[in-house]
Amino acid sequence: MGAGGRMSDPPSGKKTAAEALKRAPHEKPPFTIGDLKKAIPAHCFQKSLVTSFRYLIQDLFMAYALFYVATNYIDQYLPTPFNYVAWAAYIAVQGCVLTGAWVVGHECDHDAFSNYNWINDLVGLVVHSSLLVPYFSWKISHRRHHANTQSLENDEVYVPRFKSNIRNYYKLLNNPPGRVLVWLTTLLIGFPLYLMFNVSGHKYERWTSHYDPHSPLYSDRERKEIIVSDIAILAVIYDLYQLVLAKGFAWVFCVYGGPLLVVNGWFVLYTILNHTHPSLPYYDSTEWDWLRGALCTVDRDYGILNKVFHNVCNAHVCHHIFSMIPHYHGLESTEAMKPILGEYYQYDGTPILKAMYREMKECIYVEKDEGETKGVYWYRNKF
């Protein structure tokens, strides 16, 4: 299957290349947020503390089981080089499992974990901090992203470039090896760079960091929460330092550092692919409104990882329209909305590796169509 603006595939089950890249509707939709809410069964908006904890405990149990097997059996029973292969497999699988835990923790950002704000914040702080993400800092900026999706002036992250802002090194990297290099670099260090230096984020007049309580990202009343986030991160870093002293750097990297790189890589990958597609428009302030912006995301298919990642990738459209819906109701809510959304529902079943390369190639900068006066912008790749 391909991508594009239609709700369902043609009878053949396939889409042509032209259909896969067909532009999504960009006019104001003929339905309202109220229409969509009415279409979704009422129970989908119900949050169950027990169910949320069940998913979190399930992920943590799998993570511990993998850790136990790896640390007790790999080096003891596998000779070199088979132990290296086993550790690589552990890092990859553990990274996927911890990404699922990350997603459950992310529910706390939107108060979708439970009906109790203090529980949401406590669980979110523990889960995010354990994965070296400053919880309150991320929660604030992430909610701002949800409030301004696809707004050229106000979206908080993955803000597209204009052609006039393209630097020369982008042109040098606009070839197959360059695109692979850019993707590898982005997946490896993209998320830490965003948290530390606001790389790919909304441009502010001064230096911006998620760790700075006085960052322009935050208001005065939010600064104490940023300090709490920083203290929690420092506590985790101190614990990791003590582990390095006791077990050695290689052990800590294998059991924690490597999987963490995988978590960061998956997070960057699926957030980019859920928001970057040749068919999706961006809007300036003359055209943007919240609903049209929220509709400009695309559901993707990650195969078995859809379940591991708790459907954050294949129910992402629903997540942007109703972020308070728990992940375990995301697919049902998506199916309920599809008849109302019609051509405004975006799905892309392109294999992920192919989609990664295509989006890196096609989605370099945004500009208006020639002669267009409305504030609607589309991705381009011609220099």
- The larger pLDDT score, comparing residue 361 to residue 11, is at 361
* pLDDT digit string, tens, across residues 23-76: 999 999 999 999 999 999 999 999 999 999 999 999 999 999 999 999 999 999
- Would you say residue 312 has pLDDT above 80? yes
Q: Which pLDDT score is estimated for 168?
A: 84
Nearest to 88 by CA among 273, 254, 316, 235: 254
Nearest-5° Cα angle at 300, 14 to 109? 165
In whole angstroms, give the CA distance from residue 326 to residue 310. Answer: 10
SS3 state of residue 14: coil
What secondary structure does DSSP assign to 118-145, as a single string?
Answer: HHHHHHHHHHHHHTT--HHHHHHHHHHH
Report yes or no: 200 and 161 within 8 Å, Cβ to Cβ. no
Check whether the bond before 81 is cis (ω within 30° of 0): yes
Q: Which pLDDT score is estimated for 10?
A: 36
* pLDDT digit string, tens, across residues 79-137: 999 999 999 999 999 999 999 999 999 999 999 999 999 999 999 999 999 999 999 99
Distances (CA, A) of 48 to 44, 109, 143, 307, 311: 10, 16, 22, 19, 17
- Helix residue ranges per DSSP H, the chain: 17-20, 33-39, 49-69, 75-77, 82-109, 117-130, 135-147, 168-172, 176-197, 223-247, 249-252, 258-275, 290-295, 305-308, 316-321, 330-341, 352-362
In whole angstroms, give the CA distance from residue 73 to residue 290. Answer: 52
In whole angstroms, give the CA distance from residue 65 to residue 63. Answer: 5
In whole angstroms, give the CA distance from residue 123 to residue 55. Answer: 13
DSSP code of 157? B
- Would you say residue 332 has pLDDT above 60? yes
Name the pLDDT band for 383 (thresholds 50, 70, 90): confident
* pLDDT digit string, tens, across residues 177-190: 999 999 999 999 99
- Would you say residue 292 has pLDDT above 60? yes
Q: Which pLDDT score is estimated for 17?
A: 54
- Averaged pLDDT for residues 212-240: 97
- Would you say residue 210 has pLDDT above 70? yes
- Would you say residue 19 has pLDDT above 80? no
Name the pLDDT band for 2 (thresholds 50, 70, 90): very low
What is the pLDDT of the chain when averaged over all its residues? 93
- The larger pLDDT score, comparing residue 320 to residue 17, is at 320
Report yes or no: 75 and 255 within 8 Å, Cβ to Cβ. no
Name the pLDDT band for 169 (thresholds 50, 70, 90): confident
